[in-house]
Amino acid sequence: MTVKINLPRLVLALLATTLTWAQQANVNLDWNPQKNTAGLTPFSAPLNSPEVHDDRTVTFRVNAPEAASVELNGAVLAAFGRAWGDTLPYTKGEDGIWTLTVGPIRPDIYAYLVRIDGVQGPDPSNTIASFTGMPPYSQLVVHGDEPAYYDAKPVPHGSITRHIYSSAVTNGERDLYVYTPPGYDPARQYPVLYLVGGSGELPHNWIHDGRANFIMDNLLAEKKAEPMIIVIPNNQVIHRRHPQHGELTFDLFEREMREHVIPLIDATYATLPNPSGRALAGLSMGGRHTMFVGFNSLDLFASFGVLSAGDTTAEETLPDFLNDPSVNDKIDYLFIGQGPMEAAGRFGARVDGLLHALAAHGIEHEYYVGGYTAHDWATWRHLLYYRFLPRLWRE
């Protein structure tokens, strides 16, 4: 008996299997990049770490035979109700490899760090990391049964453009990112969301950590949001450790927006160049920029998103905004949101201060607590997808 083998098809099948299941292959924008079936370690890494198992438990590994202690730290601890300052110890094996298995963990993306003999840094075997205005950290991707709302799906995708421009405010070259929706048509006019980060974020973090572009792609494909341009400027306008950061940052950021960012966007893209066509939103420090710049710039913006931010002394710091008798006529949409684990801490106290001031002055707003973690990207992605973007320009 003769058996005919189609070699090209066999080779393709073998290649497809290898490419699909290689641990952290970084070939496709995989939704389950840390599931390991082929037994391959990430390129240039000594071990598989982290490894996400089918039951959504996770094993972390570090090769540190001379170390006296290895610990896990970071936002991932919120997945099991622990605070960022806590740590979990690894166990050292006879081969010098330290391991820690945790979970099961709810599907999401979590930031974490490895602390070796008190020195903290990213996981040396994890290729998925973030570089920000802070030292880099690793990311754990716990996948579900299918791509999540923040993953790249087979839907029409928007485009991301990086702009470099000269700023007279900061006396240097700066960058910003612009998302244009699928099918962007320069013959029509689009509303613009200006989206900013926190104390440690740079413009690209709303893309790589926040997945704002994939979230918007998926919402548009699901017909749950209006097509919009998203501009992600750099709201780091003075050194975060500057002793007068709190006094200087808001005036500088307002100047940057008025003198450079908004003129650049309105000159380059098909925008609605009026307050009703502009929104300003941000997380943490960016939420405070939204308050202290946006609320005082109602000639520029009519919609706002304050994520995980507020002010316990809002009555004193926002007098013009709070006492404007026509403020409700000037605002189209005001959203305030935070994660459930934030509400009991200092961030929750700030949010409460803002909410009480808004209520006392009869200012219309929406308040939403969503997600299941704290002051981290799992919260901010959730707020973006499940509440803020679907209601922006649809209220």
CATH number of the domain residue 113 falls in = 2.60.40.10
Is 4 inside any structural domain?
no
238 and 386 in a single domain? The answer is yes
Domain membership flag for residue 147: no
Contact status, residue 78 vs residue 373, Cβ threshold 8 Å: yes
CA torsion sign for 181, 183, 186, 190 is negative
Question: Does 243 share its domain with 375?
Answer: yes
Residue 56, Ramachandran bin (φ over 0: left; ψ between -120 and 50: alpha; else beta) = left
Q: Are residues 219 and 271 in the same domain?
A: yes
Among 117, 142, 167, the domain boundary falls at 142
pLDDT, tens digit, for every residue of 300-335? Answer: 999 999 999 999 999 999 999 999 999 999 999 999
d(CA 91, CA 95): 11
Residues in the chain: 395
Task: Specify whether 121 is located in the same domain as 171.
Answer: no
Query: CB under 8 Å to 253, separation ≥6 — which residues?
Result: 235, 237, 289, 293
Residues 6+ apart with CB under 8 A from 260: 165, 167, 168, 169, 174
- In this structure, are 116 and 201 located in the same domain? no
Whether 244 and 335 map to the same domain: the answer is yes
Q: Of 142, 170, 203, which residue sits at a domain end?
A: 142
Among the three residues 142, 167, 199, which one is the final residue of a domain in this structure?
A: 142
Q: Tell me, yes or no, whether 360 lies in a domain.
A: yes
pLDDT of residue 395: 63
Query: Are residue 177 and residue 122 in the same domain, yes or no?
Result: no
Instruction: Tell me how many domains the chain contains.
Output: 2
Total-model pTM:
0.92
> Which whole-number Å values give the CA distances from 355 to 213, 288, 309, 311, in the listed order?
29, 14, 11, 9
CATH number at residue 286: 3.40.50.1820
Taking only the tens place, the pLDDT of each residue in 11-34 is 333 344 444 444 788 889 999 999
Q: In 3D, which of 115, 100, 123, 120 has the Cα closest to residue 69?
A: 115
Which residue's entry shows tokens 């450790």? Answer: 241
Same domain, 290 and 370: yes
237 lies in which domain range?
Answer: 159-391
Q: What pLDDT, on a 0 to 100 scale, did the predictor assign at position 5?
A: 39
Domain co-membership, 112 together with 172: no
**Same domain, yes or no, for 184 and 299?**
yes
For residues 166 and 232, membership in a common domain is answered with: yes
In this predicted structure, the answer to whether residue 73 has a pLDDT above a threshold of 50 is yes
